[in-house]
Amino acid sequence: MTNVRRLICGMSATLVAVAVVVAVAAGASRAPVQPLRVQASSLTQVGQDLVWQVELTQPFSPGGLGKHHESLCLLIERASSGSTVAQVCLAGPRPGSAAPRLLYSAVTRVGPGSPAAIAAAVTRSSDRELTASFLPSSVGVQYRALRWQVLSTLSGRGCSGAAPGTSTCSTLYPAAPSLLPLHTPRLVGCVPSGPDQVFTGPRKVREIALTFDDGPWDDPPTADFVRELARLHAPATFFEIGEHIPTYDPGGTVEREMLADGDMIGDHTWSHPDLVGLSVSEQRQQLSLAAREIRSVTGGFEPCLFRAPYGAVDPSLLELARSMGFTTIQWDIDPRDWALPGEGEIIDNVLENAHDGGIVEEHFGGGPRYETLDALPEEIAGLRKQGYQLVTLTQMLGYKLVYR
């Protein structure tokens, strides 16, 4: 508790400064004599996010906290010692916005540091309740056990029960730090939306998606592609042929590495036939067998992206794919790397045809792909020089990712 007392004392010296940041008109003036009282609160992990829910015994306005010299903060504490390492405090919305904010401060032995707004989704179902979701990394913690409490403080002459030598009184909820075990989230799927077939992404966003077909493979090994893209901090989307997986990556090591690196995996059928010439049942089997193999080696990932071999589709195949949970992905930038035109030709083709929302189709299997691999550093550097952000297809299309 020594760390928390030091935190409370430190906050009393900074409440006025925070008040300037968060003050927003909030109804009739009042002169509280006790901090806001927490009726219930919880901190849970939902997928990648930490979700903080807090309910007070009376209505409150995040924008009015500073005006009344109050604060309401989530304390993040070490699981082993209970010492506070961070605090996340409620604040009013930015000008022109209606959503409350979260201000993060690292906490040291001398107290909290300067507050900074973090990316968070903040919602309210009533004037006594608030729910906020944010990534652990945004508050300086990893996916491992932590303890937490809610600290409610009030600073001013009207405060009764202030700590000796201060004008700040406070309450903690719960009275003892609560333990929250965390686990590294595992990606298990994605949720398609929008059109059944996509050729390009949004034309008003400076993004481009690199996609690779026909792996896994061994010439060069798929791991070389995955690790080179990771070294270049460039996420990509890999469309895999199901029957290649037990041959070239039977343990699924590379597929799991893809997902861990932030890449995306799509379904490229079981054996790469021209689907338009097959019956509906044969088409379904080609998609379902490949998806089952991907699911098996990744420990449960269910792809939601499908690319037909040769890009050959018809309306009934598009309908079938969507009924199975897939968006059919085409492309609009084709460097024809499958024809082995040379590393320089691949680079020039991609850079000359790049545009907002572009989907680049390249290959990491089906033949010797050293030219494609060797082109990546200059290709990616050139795209970034043009101002593009490299994204996966699910990022570009705004699909929801499902974690467990």
CB 393 within 8 A of CB 211: yes
DSSP string, 237-301: EEEE-GGGHHHH-TT-HHHHHHHHHT-EEEE--SS---GGGS-HHHHHHHHHHHHHHHHHHHTS-
Residue 266: CA atoms inside 13 Å, Cβ hemisphere, count?
Answer: 26
Selecting among 68, 268, 272, 363, the annotated active-site residue is 363
Sign (positive/negative) of CA torsion 209, 213, 218, 219? negative
> Which amino acid is located at 280 in the chain?
V
The torsion defined by the Cα of 222, 223, 224 and 225, in degrees rounded to 10, comes to: 60
Tell me if residue 69 is catalytic: no
Selecting among 49, 68, 69, 213, the annotated active-site residue is 213
* Residue 251 neighbours by CB under 8 Å, 6+ apart: 297
Environment class of 364 (CB within 10 Å of its CB; exposed 0-12, middle 13-18, buried 19+): buried
Task: Give the bridge partners for 359, in sequence order.
Answer: 209
Tell me if residue 213 is catalytic: yes
Provide the annotated active-site residues: 213, 363
